[in-house]
Amino acid sequence: MSAVILTVSLYIAEGMLAAAIFCVGIRAWRGPRAQDRVLALDTINVNVMLLFVTLGIRTGTVFFFEAALVIAVVGFVTTVALAKFLMRGEVIE
């Protein structure tokens, strides 16, 4: 019984996260401005990380947790670098 509850709720949560990534992906594709795309990419990062945590619950291994931590770190550095570029890039123009 508990296996059924857990499997169904994992499917629902993963489906919702996948739908969320899809919606954010549309926003990243549409723009309209560069900061919208950066914001959308950052949100995709957070959602992918959450998806990895749910996958870790499904499989019960440590592997996905470490992947999630790496995604979080790399995503943070990426967003900061892109934001800095948006600020600095136009100063020179």
Partner 1 sequence: MTDLPIWAAIVVGLLLIAGGTFALIGAIGLLRLDDFYRRLHAPSLSASGATTCIVLASIIGFSVMNGRPVLREILVGFFIMCTAPVTLMLLGRVALYRDRAADRPVVAESDPLGASPDQE
d(CA 36, CA 25): 11
Which residues, other chains included, contact 44 with Cβ-Cβ below 8 Å and sequence gap of 6+?
Answer: 21, 24, 25, 28
> To 10 degrees, what angle do helices 2-30 and 34-59 make?
160
CB of 84 to partner 1, least distance (A): 7
Which residues, other chains included, contact 58 with Cβ-Cβ below 8 Å and sequence gap of 6+?
Answer: 10
Task: Give residues 59-78 in contact with partner 1 (rule: CB under 8 A).
Answer: 59-60, 62, 65, 68-69, 72-73, 76
CB of 62 to partner 1, least distance (A): 7
Query: What is the binding site for partner 1 (CB under 8 A)?
Result: 1-3, 5-6, 8-10, 12-17, 19-24, 26-27, 33-36, 38-40, 42-43, 46-47, 49-50, 53-54, 56-60, 62, 65, 68-69, 72-73, 76, 79-80, 83-84, 86-87, 90
